[in-house]
Amino acid sequence: MRVSANPDSPFYHQGVLYNVFLEGVEQKMVVEADDEEGWIIRTVLDAEGNLAITEDGENIKQELVEGAVKLVRI
């Protein structure tokens, strides 16, 4: 199942929340995840724990990480 935190996404479900685990480790700042395909997109943080910004200064960095994904509805 694919889920998204983006209200503009067709995979967003208002009022439905999930904890997302990648390789058994709970993930924070997840934007989208798919447990069947085995990937997450998460926001990148810098060394101080702040949001990392793209080189052009226009967007927040995100990364695609693959692995065993588990979604737990809360």
What the block records as the tokens of 58 is 């226009």
Taking only the tens place, the pLDDT of each residue in 7-31 is 999 999 999 999 999 999 999 999 9
* Domain spans in the chain, listed from the N-terminal domain onward: 2-73
Q: How far apart are CA 29 and CA 37, in angstroms?
A: 19
CA distance linking residue 11 with residue 33, whole number of Å: 9
Q: Which amino acid is at 43?
A: T
The answer to whether 50 touches 44, Cβ cutoff 8 Å, is no
Q: Quick one: tokens of 13?
A: 């479900």
Which secondary structure element, helix H or strand E, spans residue 66, and what is its range? strand 62-66
Give this prediction's pTM: 0.90
pLDDT tens-digit map of 47-63: 999 999 999 999 999 99
